[in-house]
Structure 1
Amino acid sequence: MSTRPCRSIFRPCIDLHEGQVKQIVGGTLSDSNPAALRTNFIASQSPGDFARLYKRHDLRGGHIIKLGPGNDDAAREVLAAWPGGLQIGGGVTDTNAQEWLDAGASKVIVTSYLFPSGEFSLERLQAISRTVGRDRLVVDVSCRRRGDKWLVAMNKWQDVTDMEVCKESLDLLSHYCSEFLVHAADVEGLCQGIDEDLVKRLGEWVTLPTTYAGGAKHIDDLSLVDRLSGGKVDLTYGSSLDIFGGTLVKFEDLVQVSYDPWKACH
């Protein structure tokens, strides 16, 4: 039995695609080849139903991600169901960020806007940070592995940028935001385990609250992430979770360990 409570926590998510809550294998999203898309789950419930579920259990700090066009109405439904409870990302820029905060988002999440033509723009980061305030901005450094490095991937994880996820880049970004979100796109939706190397490195590098998503398949992955990251990284579950059609992890069990952090680290 652990001698300390688990510091890493469960962060919920709502992925929206074509106006519905879905769980998608991250590497299969493609504008040029839509037929390649692999979907693990399409919800029969409304997007707002998931927000109400999270609200009922007071699970804060989760994220809504709009994967492509046609998701704005669904996103507004989610935010109206729990104002101030969830962050939102997907197509966020300095011109529409305040609109999403006004609609009820606790914070806005930004990626692609920061990388015009795939190259990082400090000016754009500074602009959106000034617009919404550092405390209401999350930078999404979702990434793909290239050898022994991880490079930020944008545009629904299709395009690899020029930014390496490392201590230097995270230190730079941390001056302008209050959190990081990291999808490991290569393992997203596969339910084959987290990228342990990436989680360990994030624990060494980050100085801000950070949420990792990708590959979680067992409730014990929460304690694994806690151990690997020294409690600095939180964990999102997707396709493995029963509320998303999975059979590997029960939502109620995650809720229970969220209320009992000693139980999470066993």
Structure 2
Amino acid sequence: MLKTRVIPCLQLIGEGLVKTIKFKNPSYIGDPINTVRIFNELEVDELCFLDIRASQENRQPPFEMLQQIANECFMPLSYGGGLKDFEAAKRIMSIGFEKLVINTQAWRQTDLITKLSGHFGAQAVVGSIDVKKNFLGKYQVYINDGVDKIDMDVVTWAKKLESAGAGEILLTSMDKDGTWSGFDVDLTKKVADAVTVPVIANGGAGSLAHISEVVKKGNASAVCLGSMVVYQQKGMGVLVNFPDKIKLASALA
């Protein structure tokens, strides 16, 4: 197992696996169940599934498919998308997922974070923050799959999520998502230095050097990979994969 967690972060729209670029133009990747089977063979340590349109489309998580994923998967699982209340979250955990990723509802009802943390433990609750720069270069936080901007600074919001009971922060750069251009290291460091809980950097990974940089310079405790684990290379076809673990360990050493 790697010292630094490197987590495939897989985007869903309902029951299909997709990949976006800057939160737009989702491209179909394939069947989530087959993808899980490949990651089982690759002995990945952890998987994250995010239904990116569930909140925007005001629908429940795809429970039946998530049950199939949990039945098939050998590694710890986290899920986010459409978790509007305690009962939906409880159902996800009863299916066999270990962590709940809360984004939109964390803003709409912050006490949900506290309730979930109190019941399942802080280690099971991940506060998710989506961030985009405005034309002046200022970081702004968005919810509802990048549609609605909230009136709070990213560092302030991260601290509030931590205080509410989130045991981790999933920090996604909307500008970097799907670009293969590297993580937003400055954003990651800004948030990681402000909170005591682990920060998971997400958005932009394109190489082992990018992973190393965001951990060593951005102080990320873990990283999520999207395009890197579902495509052969930038601009090439679908190929579910994972970086060579020896090379990955060397890059993170």
**TM-score for the superposition, normalised by structure 2:** 0.82
Report % sequence identity. Answer: 18
Instruction: Note the C-alpha offset of 1:180.
Output: 1.1
In structure 2, relative to structure 1, the CA distance for the partners of 1:123 and 1:190 (3 Å cut) is same
Q: How does 1:69-148 map to 2 (within 5 A)?
A: 69=54, 72=62, 73-82=64-73, 85-92=76-83, 93-116=85-108, 121-146=109-134, 147-148=136-137
Instruction: Note the C-alpha offset of 1:160.
Output: 1.2
In structure 2, relative to structure 1, the CA distance for the partners of 1:162 and 1:20 (3 Å cut) is same
In structure 2, relative to structure 1, the CA distance for the partners of 1:247 and 1:153 (3 Å cut) is same
Residues in 1 aligned to 2:110 and 2:216: alpha-carbon distance in whole angstroms: 33
Q: Secondary structure at the residue paired with 2:86?
A: coil
Uncovered stretches (5+) of structure 2, i.e. residues with no partner = none
Instruction: Note the C-alpha offset of 1:139.
Output: 0.7
Q: Is the 8 A contact 2:38 2:240 kept in 1?
A: no
Instruction: Note the C-alpha offset of 1:9.
Output: 3.5
Residues in 2 aligned to 1:127 and 1:9: alpha-carbon distance in whole angstroms: 26
Residues in 1 aligned to 2:231 and 2:242: alpha-carbon distance in whole angstroms: 14
For 1:182, the equivalent position in structure 2 comes to 171
Once superposed, what is the RMSD of the aligned Cα atoms? 2.6
Instruction: Note the C-alpha offset of 1:89.
Output: 0.2
Residues in 1 aligned to 2:206 and 2:15: alpha-carbon distance in whole angstroms: 26
Residues in 2 aligned to 1:75 and 1:84: alpha-carbon distance in whole angstroms: 14
Q: How does 1:1-266 map to 2 (within 5 A)?
A: 8-28=4-24, 38-39=25-26, 41-44=27-30, 46-69=31-54, 72=62, 73-82=64-73, 85-92=76-83, 93-116=85-108, 121-146=109-134, 147-166=136-155, 168-175=156-163, 176-230=165-219, 232-239=220-227, 241=228, 243-248=229-234, 251-258=241-248, 261=249, 263-265=250-252
Instruction: Note the C-alpha offset of 1:215.
Output: 1.2
Q: Is the 8 A contact 1:211 1:233 kept in 2?
A: yes
Q: Is the 8 A contact 1:15 1:21 kept in 2?
A: yes
Instruction: Note the C-alpha offset of 1:226.
Output: 1.7
- Of the structure 1 ranges 123-132 and 218-227, higher mean CA displacement relative to structure 2 is found in 123-132
Summarize deviations over 1:89-114 as a string: whole Å, max 9, x none: 00113231010001111111111112
Residues in 2 aligned to 1:131 and 1:9: alpha-carbon distance in whole angstroms: 25
Residues in 1 aligned to 2:67 and 2:214: alpha-carbon distance in whole angstroms: 32
Residues in 2 aligned to 1:87 and 1:59: alpha-carbon distance in whole angstroms: 13
Instruction: Note the C-alpha offset of 1:66.
Output: 0.8
Instruction: Note the C-alpha offset of 1:124.
Output: 3.4
Residues in 2 aligned to 1:131 and 1:256: alpha-carbon distance in whole angstroms: 38
* Count of aligned residue pairs for this structure pair: 239
Residues in 2 aligned to 1:237 and 1:224: alpha-carbon distance in whole angstroms: 14
Residues in 2 aligned to 1:61 and 1:178: alpha-carbon distance in whole angstroms: 16
In structure 2, relative to structure 1, the CA distance for the partners of 1:191 and 1:81 (3 Å cut) is same
Residues in 2 aligned to 1:13 and 1:27: alpha-carbon distance in whole angstroms: 14
Uncovered stretches (5+) of structure 1, i.e. residues with no partner = 1-5, 29-37
Q: Secondary structure at the residue paired with 1:170?
A: helix
Residues in 2 aligned to 1:162 and 1:186: alpha-carbon distance in whole angstroms: 19
Higher relative contact order (CA 8 A, sep 6+): 1
